[in-house]
Chain A
Amino acid sequence: MGTVHARSLDPLPMHGPELGVHVDDVDLVEVQPETKQEILENKDVVVQHVHLDGLGRTKEDFLTHEIADVFTAKNLIDVMKKSHDARQKLLRLGIFRQVEVVIDTSQGDGALPNGLDVTFEVTELRRVTGSYNTMVGNNEGSMVLGIKLPNFLGRAEKLTFQFSYGTKETSYGLSFFKPQPGNFDRNFSLNVYKVTGQFPWSSLRETDRGVSTDINFPIWKTNHTLKWEGVWRELACLGRTASFAVREESGHTLKSSLSHAMMIDTRNSAIFPRRGALLKINQELAGYTGGDASFLKEDVELQLNKRLFWDSVLSVSLWGGMLLPFGDKPTCIADRFYLGGPTSVRGFSMSQAPGRPHQWDYLGGEAYWAGGVHLYTPLPFRPGRGGFGDLFRTHFFLNAGNLCNLNYGEGPQAHLQKLAECIRWSYGAGILLRLGNIARLELNYCIPMGVQSGDRICDGIQFGAGIRFL
């Protein structure tokens, strides 16, 4: 919490060399505040003026929505509380480096005896901020240059540019963000990007160049995102040994899709939640707005957490998804689901859909499900409790999942049966490390079961990092 100064409410300045020189003045200082303060605490007050000091390029009309509540305060405690809320709201806009609140009695013409002035002293962020990182990973080194223009039009608009120059790949992204005045959760953003990814388990290299625009808005306790995305996708093989099925998918395609995502998150933390639930439903409809790919993709993610004895937490998660192609075109390798890896079905590497002819590259599946049960506990004997040790957890897990292709004509019964047979599952234990509040590292000992021919397994120690985990 920031510094909320409730300066003494006397009309005289508290400082200055002139104080204490005259006896009269000293009397005033000592006596008057006490009497006034007593009165004000019990009495109704009126917030007469709210000032914003230190505004440069920020438009005042944009901020009035954020601070309007302060005027409704009826007593001093209320003023302090509402000012504090307003301060949090101002900080959330991401346009101020610092916000301080000063509450003072009203002065000057028309000042009521119980009138208060609230002043927000703000320090704006710089017009341009930049960052520079170097990253090493996946046999690749890269340099990431970021430029941010916070609040560049004066109403919390944000322009972000990120450029990554790597030894193998170059990526960039430009994004424009604008919130609705007075309702920061309702916002609009526009993105232009180029991303290149290499997927060695599929011998695939994918370059996406795209434009996307999305609108976020809350309804009751849920958050919704509506998005349109137009992507030019370029697929290519990683090397000559790529299987022919991957080679056949090479080339340029265009995807234009509309998607809707809904999220309810009542968890207390995204990485090591102790209680609460998460439900995410994502649906994507491609093909109606042009492009080469036409499909309907549904993806659901559910996570429930329950606190047990001794700070241990039981967590259950369930994922499922389906990709329904329209027309006679088969689904694209870039749209299909992949299962396996250290943050989904642990103990397996990227999994392959059964029923495919034998090949050595993973082509993904059109339907999948995965489930996990975890028991998270603090580190044994709790070293570093209340500090560094809280970044760690141990967990015991049981994961299961399966992936299949939908060959139309067999009916949903057959598909369900396919997903139910030959289930891949695994169990084990490991240590987790929380990185900020967005990612976590895992070091697990896994025992994979239900291994199918063609699966790549990881029997023993598996290391993983991720922001989404089963």
Chain B
Amino acid sequence: MSLAAEAYVSQIAAADPWPENATLYQPLKEDQILLSDCASSLAVQAYLRMCRLPVRVRCRPNAEYMSPSGKVPFIHVGNQVVSELGPIVQFTKAKGHSLSDGLDEVQRAEMKAYMELVNNMLLTAELYIQWCDENTVAEITWPRYSSPYSWPLNHILAYQKQWEVKRKMAAIGWAGKSLAQVYEDVSQCCQALSQRLGTQPYFFNKQPTELDALVFGHLFTILTTQLTSNELSEKIRTYGNLLSFCRRVEQNFFEEHGGDSDAGASPRFPKSPSLI
């Protein structure tokens, strides 16, 4: 299909209202999903909840390959398939749902800069820890990533993925970093976020934006996921306002739906007894 035709289809799609049966796809929650994918998926879920757009969560072992960009999560809305937070934000905007409309140009630029910071620091650190730290790779990443596949495919695919991530790390200059340096980067990123947040309820005061969804997705996932060591979550726990921010987003956007019959929609993690 040509580019023009695709643009036309997305315009047509934009005219349709948000359907009831919109679905978000992610890897299997219990046995397969990794820290970074879980964080990205939670960020998208938080964003859609902030927009008050209903979405059902479905877990598929092949979610990564179903996604048009090869990255999870992706949403299936009507005939459209959109993956990752950035394009999903654009897509909902085309349908008339936006969280950042109230911001001025400067704030919007600032929001984008902080989102880039989170993606470059937190997401990359998550990828680094889960694919480059030998302990985590052996104990968590390999068994989980290869769980849906039988021998010898499990080894081939996990190795392929690890090689891909390592190549990316080398390209952005993270290959030579030690784990301690990565923790330090995370700490610095959290400090920047903490300073920006200050005493406000959300990053841009009263109204949550996609930045809030992204930060919540990553921080909440790191805080509630059991890794080989607690060091990563400890770094975040030193910033009190970030903790209460996570608690606030969880209360305002996830717990009110607690009684929802659709159990798949709430981000209840088996290893997340409490935040504080």
Contacts and interface: CB of A to CB of B under 8 A. Distances in A.
Interface string B48-65: 000000000000111011
A26 B65 CA distance: 88
A187 to B, nearest CB: 28
Interface stretch (A142-150, A246-254, A271-279, A376-384): A246-254
Contacts of B156: 232
B191 to A, nearest CB: 40
A252 B153 contact: yes
B148 to A, nearest CB: 9
Interface stretch (A87-95, A115-123, A237-245): A237-245
Interface in B1-34: 1, 6, 9
A236 B66 CA distance: 8
Nearest to B150: A254
B164 to A, nearest CB: 14
B68 A251 contact: no
B65 A254 contact: no
Interface string A288-312: 0011100000000000000000000
B76 interface: yes
Nearest to B61: A251
A247 B61 contact: no
B157 A240 contact: no
Interface residues of A, number: 19
B102 to A, nearest CB: 32
The SS class assigned to the A binding surface is: strand
A254 B81 contact: no
B165 to A, nearest CB: 17
A291 B150 contact: yes
B244 to A, nearest CB: 40
Contacts of A235: 65
B157 A252 contact: yes
Contacts of A239: 1
A244 B153 contact: no
B65 A240 contact: no
Contacts of A241: 1, 6, 9
Contacts of B6: 240-241
Interface in B129-157: 149-151, 153, 156-157
Given A240-B1, A290-B151, A250 B157 contact: no
A363 to B, nearest CB: 15
Contact of A254 (B1, B9, B149): B149
A252 B65 contact: yes
Contacts of B60: 248
Interface in A38-83: none
Contact of A240 (B64, B81, B150): B81
A254 B1 CA distance: 31
Nearest to A251: B62
A211 to B, nearest CB: 11
Given A244-B76, A252-B157, A236 B1 contact: no
A290 B66 contact: no
A396 B178 CA distance: 75
Contacts of A234: 65
Given A240-B6, A244-B81, A247-B81, A254 B68 contact: no
Contacts of A291: 150
A237 B151 contact: no
B192 to A, nearest CB: 36
Nearest to A209: B156
Interface of B: 1, 6, 9, 60-62, 64-66, 68, 76, 81, 149-151, 153, 156-157
Given A240-B68, A247-B66, A251-B62, 14 more contacts: A232-B156, A234-B65, A237-B68, A241-B1, A241-B6, A244-B76, A247-B81, A248-B60, A252-B153, A253-B153, A254-B149, A254-B153, A291-B150, A292-B150
17 contacts: A235-B65, A237-B68, A239-B1, A240-B6, A240-B81, A241-B6, A244-B76, A247-B81, A250-B65, A250-B66, A252-B62, A252-B149, A252-B153, A252-B157, A254-B149, A254-B153, A292-B150
